[in-house]
A and B are shown apart, each in its own frame.
Chain A
Amino acid sequence: MGAPTQKAAIIGVGETDYQTRIPEQTYAELAQEAARKAIEDAHLSPGDIEAVVYSMAPTEFMGVTDADKWAIDAVFGRSKPFMRVHTGGATGGSAAQAGYMHVASGLYETCLVVGADKVSETPDAQFILNLIWDPFFERDFALNTITMAALQTVRHMAKYGTTEKDMAHVVVSSWKNAQRNPRAHLKGVLTIDAVLESPYFAWPLKRYDCCPRSSGAAAVVIASERVVRQKATRAAWISGVGGVANTVYMGDRMGGARDTDLCDWTELELAAREAYRQAKITDPVKELDVAEIYAPFSSNQLMGVAALGLSSHHQAGALTQEGFFDLGGEVPVNPSGGTLCANPIAVTALVRVCDAALQVLGKAGGYQVPNVHAAVATGVGGSFQFQTCMVLTDEPR
């Protein structure tokens, strides 16, 4: 398996602001804003879009099971090839890859990948996130995304000596980065002490270690090499993709006959290995200029940088404290502020792709990293069991 049948690149990015509630727009109107912005950014018109992939995670938050089919007219998808991708938190990463497949297959010249979420339309988010678990064995234990992340973090602390202070540095850096991102939901000046003194949601995770619930929409336009040459001055080439799924049962990933450890993010390591192979990346620290890692909890960023080969697991905390992953550091991680500063679940992983693409396109504005030739974007979903990885570059590979 070598090069794709047809090379493809992201030539347009569209995002809304991310905030708790967006009462000014219906769900479909929100999705449209991102679609319109992405198509305009690509200097195309809606009629130039040949196919649409819709990025939509669980619908219980916004409350309409056919969310995508409701939004189809608004996102210019009517009477076009249209499909909804849903892989939990990883949805946006999976949707971007599905959009890429539309073009890479040679069947389409353009594909719009778009989605939206209104997570705060229900106050019952963590109750809904309990319904993701096995109804016989796991729902009774108040498992939700926060407790799930706490269980994983406890293992990371035990295995690699990670401290709550390491995690606090991730939060402070993310919030600081987000100040440069006009669309970020949470941002501002936080101190290490403020993070450490915030109340425990589920030990060892405190309030500031956790992402917000956000509403918002995101979109990218993916185009073939032919369209890029005709219409675009810059392009973020999709040079490598990978995805790996693992068992839902977290208990299979801790001790015993395990193949993988819950706290190692081996799924991302494997997905990145494939994406790097396609993109011909052998030394990620040297060759990647920026990483947008889907880290909904502070400790996840420590797992993510190791899985992507930017650090060892043991060193991730220390390197974070030294500023290795800050803007201006060796490999800036989440210069946008990342998922800790905005989490519109259905598109969070697509936002990572958007932010990585903006860096390659040189359009990231206040949080632009200088001279980006290669960027990586990741997505994680389910019980940290689904991981996606996409490498974007300034030239085709």
Chain B
Amino acid sequence: MVQRDDLLVLGVDWHVHYDHSAGEIVSAFLKGLGNGVIQGRHCPLCGAVWLPPRAYCERCFVATDQWVSVGPGGVLEAFTIVGQKFDNLPEPPYVIAFARLDGSDSSLANFLTMTLGSVEEMAERLAVGQRIRAEFKPESQRQLRITDFHYVLA
């Protein structure tokens, strides 16, 4: 593209703050992480245990009724190794994984921590269906965020 000096560009920044209500279900889940517990929500009609936990079953369209503890073991359902630096996102390489924790019917996203290498080397050590384990940060470092735990290969 030819640079033209008759065309102006106006730089604009725009900041908007939000306070997202977590609600009772998400709050209880995040507080559970502080105690090293991962819990899904159970649907009274189809019996599924959903993670992320939600107040209702999207399929049966009824309120979920109880907490079910899941994990810490589980199955790797999908993963990727990020090789590119994106603005405002972590330094590569790192692994984003979806794992279905034992006792749950859906997979939950988290980072998977493993020995680093080239993207190809790391890809060779990972496979869909592999066993993983959820590992918590030391209690003092937990912030009641989803990142209070991560996955490791079992």
Contacts and interface: CB of A to CB of B under 8 A. Distances in A.
A/B: CB atoms within 8 Å of each other: yes
Contacts of B146: 136-138, 140-141
A105 interface: no
A252 B50 contact: yes
B7 interface: yes
Contacts of A123: 87
A150 B110 CA distance: 15
Contacts of B83: 199-203
Interface stretch (A15-23, A224-232, A276-284): A15-23
A144 B14 CA distance: 21
A152 B79 CA distance: 8
Contact of A130 (B14, B82, B89, B122): B89
Nearest to A127: B88
A144 B89 contact: yes
A251 interface: yes
A287 interface: no
A200 B109 contact: no
Interface in B88-115: 88-90, 94, 96, 98, 100, 104-111
Contacts of A396: none
Contact of B4 (A23, A252, A257): A23
B1 to A, nearest CB: 7
Q: Interface size for chain B: under 10, 10 to 19, 20 to 34, or 35 or more residues?
A: 35 or more
Contact of A151 (B50, B52, B75, B79): B79
B84 A203 contact: no
A36 B107 CA distance: 48
Nearest to B127: A158
B3 to A, nearest CB: 9
Given A21-B1, A142-B86, A143-B109, A257 B48 contact: yes
Contact of B81 (A137, A155, A202): A202
A249 interface: yes
Contact of B89 (A21, A127, A137, A256): A127
B14 A154 contact: no
A256 B100 contact: yes
Given A136-B26, A257-B105, A203 B75 contact: no
Given A142-B86, A252-B58, 10 more contacts: A141-B111, A141-B146, A147-B80, A200-B119, A250-B98, A250-B107, A254-B78, A256-B106, A258-B105, A258-B106
18 contacts: A127-B88, A136-B20, A136-B22, A136-B26, A137-B146, A141-B110, A200-B119, A202-B80, A202-B84, A203-B120, A250-B107, A252-B58, A254-B78, A255-B75, A255-B77, A256-B107, A257-B47, A257-B48
